[in-house]
Structure 1
Amino acid sequence: MKHTILCKIIIVFIISISNRLIAQITISKPSLGFTQVCASSSFNSYKVTFSFSPAVSLGATNQFQIELSDSSGDFTNSTIIHTSAAGEVTTSPATLTFSLPTTISGEDYQLKIRSTLPAASSSASNAFAAYYKIQDTPFSINNLIETGLYCTGGSYLLTIDNPGGPMNDSPLQYASLTFNWFKVTGPTSSVYIATSPTLLVNQPGTYFAETNYGTCTSNSFSNRVTVSEASSTNVTSSINSSLGNPYCSSQGNTVLSAINGDSYQWFKEGNVIEGATSQMYSTNVPGNYSVTIDLGNCTASASIVLDNGEFVSEIDAPDEQEVEEDQTFIVTVTTDAVSPEFKWFLNNNLITGESSRSYEVSQRGNYKVVIEQNSGCASSKEHVFSVTEPSELFPDVTNIPNVISPNNDNINDTWVLPKDYVSGTNTEVIIINAQGKIVYQTKDYQNNWPTNQIDFTSINPVYYYIITTTNNQTKKGSITIVK
């Protein structure tokens, strides 16, 4: 009897051990379908593959989960970022598709695969960099003023502009973001300075900021600001108008901004504006505005002649058009001017009878079209272009130029790139103005930018470019337009 009972106990124990062995699985190290993650609102889908054994040990309601570490690879406070449906995955190897959190930002994330029935976990995957580009457009610093000043022995504070708006998607609106500051060392080179929302500068130079997306290529970068040490006790600076200059009063007030300082006093036509003692002054009245800025041990002054006659116009012809003999083409003006009037000129002579927005060009020479707006914001603008004999479109140049002079003298009139980036290479060329707006974008660059006339104020305009080759090599820099 005792022998029988002992045999039953042994049998039950063996069955229990067998069941336990059957209920265990081994999950392999995850294999990543990527080397780094640069997610955004337009793309956030990634794959991970893993194996498990034995498949027969999976419970009918088993779920596989993807576990994400923190940015240093620590799983102590890990996050489950994907869970498969119960019983969905039954064969090995398996591939799961997942999305990453919008707050992800770092260089050493890892993944693990977990099962729920039976409970098991893989080893950690290879480390990978991962960023979610929640803001991926150019932004402004220093109120888009291109200069900054500090007194001898002092410093100048560069800040990212906030709050955001239609003209400025400020990255400060997103709490998860950090920012890298750089000092320009050459036309297309720079050196890292610090990671911070602001930068205190005490060395002359040109500075800019980028949203910290690590090794991911990004369009989230600022305009450039040249900071100088004041050479005297009273130096000259500049003023920025938030709506541009000229501006149109029908759009409401424009905000005039000065560089950072300790205190301010604004003037109109040389007269003190009572109570206008802030860094910014809002107005809807054209005129001659100036401001004095206390920088501590020295002062700066700046002025702007504010014009309220703005409207937008452009022509669909490059500054210089090369045509064969007897060839013609049509040039058309696009404008939002109210009831516009058009006047066309050839070699500064009015072309009689031509008053529509389009003109068929049949002769070589220097052309001009004047657009006049006589109601609302009364003002006028002109666009010039020339028609010449054909010449070599893609000369063999070595460097990307950072200065051009579109003055129709046939010397350095357009931005001419090395042959590696022009038509036929499928290289993407993007040009952005100082307000962060894309003004030109193509994958078939013809060495013909600027395609429209550049309006000059007292300061030479600066644009920024991003060149991206088919193998995702990126070059960035600035283009200064001089007369």
Structure 2
Amino acid sequence: MTLTYHLVESKMMICELHMPPMNSNKYQHMKSKPTTFFSSGAFMFFWMLLVLPSALSLFAQTTILPQKLGYPRICANIPNVDYPNGYNRYEVPFKVTGFSATENFIVLLSSDNFVTIIKPNIITNDSSVPADTPTDKTLTFEVPADLMGSDTYKLRVESASGIRSVDFKASDLQSSFPIHFLSYSGPFYINNQSNSVSFCIGGSVTLAIDNTTPSVPKTSPLQYPQLKYKWYKDGNVIPNESNSTLSVNQTGDYYVEVDYGPCTDFNTHSQIVKVSGASGSGAVITSSSGNPFCASLGQTTLTVNGGNSYVWRKDNAIIDGATSQTYQTNLSGVYTCDVDFGGCKSTGTLDLKVLKTNSTISGVDVDKVNNIVEGETLNAAITSDAASPTYQWFLNDVAISGADKSSLDITAEGKYKGVVTQTTGCIIADEFPFEVSFKVNLNVPKISNIVTPNGDGVNDTWIIPDQYISGTNTHIVILSSLGEIVYQTDNYDNYNGWPQTAIEFNNFNPVYYYIITPTGGSAKKGSITLLK
């Protein structure tokens, strides 16, 4: 018997076993002797043939390799030569290794280096797109209609298992590029389609985009709050002006266009308005009750200089029906009034404030549930500079009898409210609502690695043994799957633990990693999986 090895193209050794003819007389005497079928070397070789593929698979690296994008910018919602009927289809080609055939992928967009992430809708590939293979894939996505346009978007691809690519490149040098959704296109108007306005000496006039038919869709860019604008004076861009209104106190020719960056459609702009100066006093707004005013005494009357017509605004928004010389309000805010004096126009401004007292509450947190052990006392106290203050405490919206001091000892759970009232001069009341709940024994024997933050009150936050919580001087860090710190503290509280804000779920369960470092002890490390 001979054992022959052959080297094949895959550089693996293949062996062949050659047996002599059994009818040969020369070997007849071997029939009665025990024979070792494989040598030890042959056995080890066959064992490697069985184990090696598994070992290679175990150490295979999962990667997403971006391919160059076929566009230097994205100007969505305008005719596209590749998709004349779609106007909003953008392909992302990439290569993968180490993933299963059923792995899903999504597109990620960000204009602030992935501090804020946008996940656009993935749509079915067009028939012109080559079919996916185990290594070459293409995603096609739509730009969200409410996207805030920017010239510094970046694009990445992420797998359902949390593996994320590096930035895709729109050119050999550029990994960020403009993305804009052209929500509104075509001409629009400012200042009721007027071609000229004038301001009074020492005053100003406001230019504002019209929205005369707000109930009719697509009739004004104001119907798309995500849009930004560029204002022009005498053909030159006015720096740092991107709002829908502009206060003007210089003569010149003004117009505004929707700012879509390099995607800007130069037909999407207003008419030109000639602004001139004229003699006359500027508009001034006064408050009948002073500024700040006492809201408890009722409304204050705002009055502007007499003119031919008036347009009142609060915080830059036109107040419906406010077209007279006076306007009554009990709300704070920035009020303006555009006054047409006939020969000139002027805009008066008043930053109206309401009288307040400086009051604070201590001993409780108004932003989260205050947990106490049953039988324990929690003290809440109000401090205020109110004149001749009175106090009243409430439990579940019912006044607590005798609870009329600046502090309250709390032993029962429920929804509380502390109210301090200034009783002389302007009557001002400050309220502090908060909730108290009895602690449930959350001490667990080991660190939890599964959290279900669905708001059902069970396992909504990460629970850890008491030996690591607040008071033990233990440093805790939680990291995302990308290694970014999402939470850290030296005083972890099981009753108001992590996550403290909603976490968006897509088609996979996110995984985070923790590092618990007790004082004088070794660090504990592990993972936390969030389930729906």
Superposition TM-score, scaled by structure 2 size: 0.38
Bigger CA radius of gyration: 2
